[in-house]
């Protein structure tokens, strides 16, 4: 057996045994980005499974991230939330970065919700804005490189609709009802861990990006490979700045604070959407 498959199955079996004992079968996977982890506080009757207890899983280290699966009820549905994701910049190989997504697939999720804190590339964006991700530009190594895992999906997956149009339309409707001023746009994923230089921001704008971050696309690629519909949202935590602005700095702690402030709106939207699935 492919050693990756063995690892996925072993981790999934460990989680499944815990969930079976609790009578939980999650239908929706949620990845919580930097500063957005408190959505898990809204999960009712939560069962917490620390990554460090799961065979083959590492411990997440990024700022604003914990390392747990939280399983329980949200808006009437059973969800499995990742409180903390694994980033390529932490030094994990791509198989590790996407392992939790494949474990959730084996556990039977039918939808994946992804969230992140992102820099605003679009000059009209403001700190605290929420952006529905409509497409992405991936500049992190593709997690599907290597022998294809045929059990999950095809060698050459279609990526014409990486983010589910039906979920996007529903989110826009719910956003209107809630009076949220939602943005829509393209997410540019780079490895980090450096934030962007002024001219990297400019370059991203030229190629059509609206927001930039260091995550999400590996998870989305692997979910789409496995035919899971995806809904993605960026919380804009800092904005592109003029190359002439000599005082500007991008500060990681400030980004987590901004994400936390905007999290309330994002959580309301996720709950509204999940309630309608």
CB of 14 to ligand HPA, least distance (A): 31
CB of 255 to ligand HPA, least distance (A): 5
Q: CB of 121 within 8 A of CB of 211?
A: yes
**Dist. CA 211–CA 226, nearest whole Å:** 26
- Cβ-closest position to ligand HPA: 119
Q: Which is nearer to ligand HPA, 210 or 238 (CB)?
A: 238
CA 5 to chain CA centroid, nearest Å:
22
CA 34 to chain CA centroid, nearest Å:
10
Q: Which is nearer to ligand HPA, 164 or 196 (CB)?
A: 196
CB of 119 to ligand HPA, least distance (A): 2
Residue whose C-alpha is closest to residue 228's, from 219, 216, 215: 219
Chain residues that interact with ligand HPA, rule: CB under 6 A = 117-119, 192, 195-196, 212-214, 237-238, 250, 255
CB of 248 to ligand HPA, least distance (A): 11
**Dist. CA 253–CA 242, nearest whole Å:** 21
Helix and strand numbers (H, E) in the chain are 6, 9
Q: Which is nearer to ligand HPA, 171 or 236 (CB)?
A: 236
Residue whose C-alpha is closest to residue 116's, from 135, 131, 96: 131
Q: Which is nearer to ligand HPA, 81 or 255 (CB)?
A: 255
Provide the token pair at 160. Answer: 């014409």
Q: Which is nearer to ligand HPA, 26 or 119 (CB)?
A: 119
Residue whose C-alpha is closest to residue 29's, from 91, 110, 130, 99: 110
CB of 81 to ligand HPA, least distance (A): 20
CB of 33 to ligand HPA, least distance (A): 8
Q: Which is nearer to ligand HPA, 218 or 272 (CB)?
A: 218
Q: Element (H or E) spanning 253, and its range?
A: helix 252-275
């Amino acid at each position: 057996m492919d050693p990756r498959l063995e690892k996925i199955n072993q981790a999934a079996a460990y989680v499944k045994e815990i969930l079976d004992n609790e009578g939980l079968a999650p239908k929706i996977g949620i990845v919580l980005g930097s500063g957005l982890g408190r959505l898990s506080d809204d999960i009712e009757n939560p069962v917490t499974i620390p990554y460090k207890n799961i065979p083959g899983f590492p411990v997440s280290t990024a700022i604003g991230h914990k390392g747990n699966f939280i399983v329980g009820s949200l808006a009437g549905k059973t969800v499995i939330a990742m409180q903390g994701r694994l980033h390529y910049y932490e030094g994990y190989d791509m198989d590790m970065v996407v392992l939790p997504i494949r474990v959730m697939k084996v556990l039977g999720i039918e939808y994946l919700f992804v969230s992140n804190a992102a820099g605003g590339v679009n000059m009209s964006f403001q700190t605290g804005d929420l952006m529905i991700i409509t497409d992405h530009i991936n500049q992190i190594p593709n997690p599907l490189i290597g022998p294809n895992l045929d059990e999950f999906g095809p060698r050459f997956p279609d990526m014409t609709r990486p983010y589910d149009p039906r979920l996007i339309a529903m989110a826009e409707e719910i956003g209107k009802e809630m009076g949220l001023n939602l943005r829509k746009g393209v997410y540019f994923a780079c490895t980090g861990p450096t934030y962007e230089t002024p001219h990297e921001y400019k370059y991203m704008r030229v190629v059509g990006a609206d927001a930039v971050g260091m995550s999400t696309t590996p998870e989305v690629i692997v979910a789409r490979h496995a035919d899971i519909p995806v809904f993605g949202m960026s919380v804009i935590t800092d904005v592109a700045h003029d190359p002439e602005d000599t005082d500007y700095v991008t500060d990681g702690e400030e980004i987590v604070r901004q994400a936390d402030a905007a999290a309330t709106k994002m959580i309301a939207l996720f709950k509204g959407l999940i309630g309608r699935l």
